[in-house]
Amino acid sequence: MTDRMNRRWLLASRPEGEPKAENFRLDEVAVPEPGNGELLLRTIYLSLDPYMRGRMSDAKSYAAPVPIGGVLEGETVAEVVTSNHPDYVAGDIVLNRIGWQSYGISDGKGLRKLDPKAAPISTALGVLGMPGLTAYAGLKNIGQPKAGETVVVAAASGPVGSAVGQIAKIRGARAVGIAGGPEKCAFVKDELGFDEVVDHRAPDFAAQLAAACPDGIDVYFENVSGKVFDAVFPLFNQFARMPVCGTIAFYNATSFPEMETKVPPLMRAVLTKRLRIQGFIVYDFASDYADFARDMAGWIADGRLKYREDIVEGLNAAPDAFIGLLKGRNFGKMVVRVGADPTIA
C-alpha cells in the first residue's frame, strides 16, 4: 500500500437492527484522476452523524440510500490535490461530500471553500457546519423561544443539542439539558452554562426532569425520542413547540410495539394543548446560512457559545466510532481525522 492508494469504506450489507462490523467493507483502489473541470480531493476530516444510519437502509426516506457496494456517505473537509477547475487551486481547503474515503473526485458542485484563518477547519463539520445550522435554524424557525420560556433539549452534550441550549440562553430563555452520565451532565451545566441538566440514565429520570421544569416545557428540541420523549410529553405547556431533527433511540429498531398505546394520548395532547410538532431537514432552512454563519462566529468569538469535538484517528476507526455514536459513546461532535491537517503547525 502506498500513499497514492485510495482507501474506502463500502456498505457490505444492510444492517438489521444495530450496525455491525460485517456491514462494512474496507476497499483499496488506485487514486482516481480528475477529468476536465474536476478536482482531486484528499480527505482530512470525515464527519460521523446519526443520519448516516438511515442511508444504510433501503427504507423510503427523504434521500436515496447508499447502494450495496457503494462508498458510505459523509461530509468531509478536504484539501485540493489537483485542480482542473477554474475556481480552485491545489492547496485550497473545501467542505464537500466525498464520503468515507481518503481521496475523491468532485466537479466543484456543492463545494465550499474554507478559510483556515477564520476557525479550525474541523468546525465546518460541527458548530459552524450542518449540526450548528440544524440547531440554529430549527430553534429559530420552529422552536421560536421567547424570553423566560423553558427550552429542553436531549443529547445536550452533542453538537446539535449543545448549540440549541446555548442559543436558547442567548435569546433569553431558560435551558434544560438532558444528557447521559455524570461527565456529560457536568459539561453541560458547568462548561456550557445550561440552567439545569438531567441524566437520562437516572432511575428517577422523569421525576428529576419534572423538578427541573417547574413551569412546564415550552420548547422541546427532539434529537432522541424513546423514553426521553416519554418523560418530556406530560410536561408540555399549551402551545408548546417541538422541532424534530432526530429520533436516534429508534434508528436501530426493527419494530415499535409500544406505539399503539402512545399514539392516542399524543394526538389528544396535540389537539387540546395546541402543540406544534414539526420535523425538518437542515436544508429546509438553507436560506438562513448567512445569518447563521455571522451569528455563530460572533457568539464563539465573544465566548457566549462553546463547542467540543470528539476526534478519532484514522479511517480504519470509522465503523467502530459510528457504531459507538449510535449508542451515545461520543462526547461532542464525532470527527475522524483521515489525513494530515496542513493548517496545524
Do residue 167 and residue 211 come from a single domain? Answer: yes
Q: Is the pLDDT of residue 259 over 70?
A: no
Task: Show the domain range for 320.
Answer: 5-126+308-337
Do residue 231 and residue 317 come from a single domain? Answer: no
Do residue 56 and residue 92 come from a single domain? Answer: yes
Does 329 reside within a domain?
yes
Average pLDDT, the chain: 93
- The whole-number pLDDT of residue 92 equals 98
Do residue 109 and residue 141 come from a single domain? Answer: no
Does 223 reside within a domain?
yes
CB of 269 closer than 8 Å to CB of 275: yes
Q: How many domains does the chain have?
A: 2
Do residue 183 and residue 246 come from a single domain? Answer: yes
What tens digit of pLDDT does each residue of 82-130 get?
999 999 999 999 999 999 999 999 999 999 999 999 999 999 999 999 9
- The whole-number pLDDT of residue 1 equals 35
CA atoms of 185 and 197, how far apart (whole Å):
6
Do residue 221 and residue 192 come from a single domain? Answer: yes
Lowest mean pLDDT among 44-53, 71-80, 200-209, 241-250: 241-250
CA atoms of 65 and 208, how far apart (whole Å):
39
CATH for 45: 3.90.180.10
CA atoms of 112 and 76, how far apart (whole Å):
11
Does 342 reside within a domain?
no
Does 344 reside within a domain?
no
Cell numbers representing residue 203 in the block: 432511575
Do residue 204 and residue 289 come from a single domain? Answer: yes
Do residue 27 and residue 162 come from a single domain? Answer: no
CATH for 145: 3.40.50.720
146: which residues sit within 8 A by CB, 6+ positions away? 172, 173, 218
Mean pLDDT value across residues 185-190: 97
Do residue 296 and residue 184 come from a single domain? Answer: yes
Mean pLDDT value across residues 262-282: 89
